[in-house]
Amino acid sequence: MPREVGSQPMNMKVLIPAEAIQRRVDELGREIAAAYPNHQPVTIVGVLTGCLVFLADLIRRLDLPLRISLIQASSYRGETTQAGELLLGAEMLPDLTGRDVLLIDDILDTGRTISKIAERLKALGSRSVRAAVLLRKRGRQEVPFEPDFCGFEIPNEFVVGYGLDYNDEYRHLPFIGIFNSTP
């Protein structure tokens, strides 16, 4: 469906409508809360910047005692879709010793980012590290990593919206769209 953002017409097809995302995030909230049956405190670690919209919606559906923190990871440069070296900025993390950590990211693509971050969080002394991703691309994974919670499996397309960007744009769209840079 073509859609206007600002004055810029875009060639974008809706892959997951906003309402479907909201319904799935509701379910994920229940699944995740059920996976912490003792109602123990959970430390959320969101991967900037793509996690932001998913994180904001999900935490308001999690009936658990929560702390929220963020980690910076950058592996994609400019508009390329090739992963470069992964840089982790962990300055914003609290002391994770003995904590049950729930890592939150927008998308599992090659798996390099989230597996590196999970390793780092374990090395920082957390008691458990689980991961929730909104999206998982079929046929792209290069590193073995199984997320504990996953919103949607999607085809191998470049997607934007609901936190995901193309050159830092389109994160605010309420739906997930397939982005075509050559309309």
The least distance separating Mg ion from the CB of residue 50, rounded to whole angstroms, comes to 3
Q: How far apart are CA 76 and CA 121, in angstroms?
A: 21
Could you give the string, one character per residue 61-100, with x where binding to ligand IMP holds by CB under 6 A and - elsewhere?
A: --------------xx------x-----------------
Of 45, 55, 96, 109, the residue at the interface with ligand IMP (CB under 6 A) is: 109
Number of Cβ within 10 Å of residue 182's Cβ equals 4
CA torsion sign, 5 to 153 to 180 to 14? Answer: negative
Pick from 147, 116, 121: nearest CA to 134: 147
The least distance separating ligand IMP from the CB of residue 127, rounded to whole angstroms, comes to 25
Residues 136 and 113: beta-carbon distance below 8 Å: no
Number of Cβ within 10 Å of residue 33's Cβ equals 15
Q: How far apart are CA 5 and CA 123, in angstroms?
A: 42
- Complex with ligand IMP: residue 32 or 106, whichever CB lies closer: 106
Q: Which candidate in 109, 148, 165, 168 is catalytic?
A: 109
* Interface region with Mg ion, contact rule CB under 5 A, candidates 29-37, 38-46, 50-58, 86-94: 50-58
Catalytic annotation on 109? yes
Of 50, 147, 161, 177, the residue at the interface with ligand IMP (CB under 6 A) is: 50
Instruction: Give yes or no for residue 152 binding ligand IMP (CB under 6 A).
Output: no
Positions marked active-site: 109
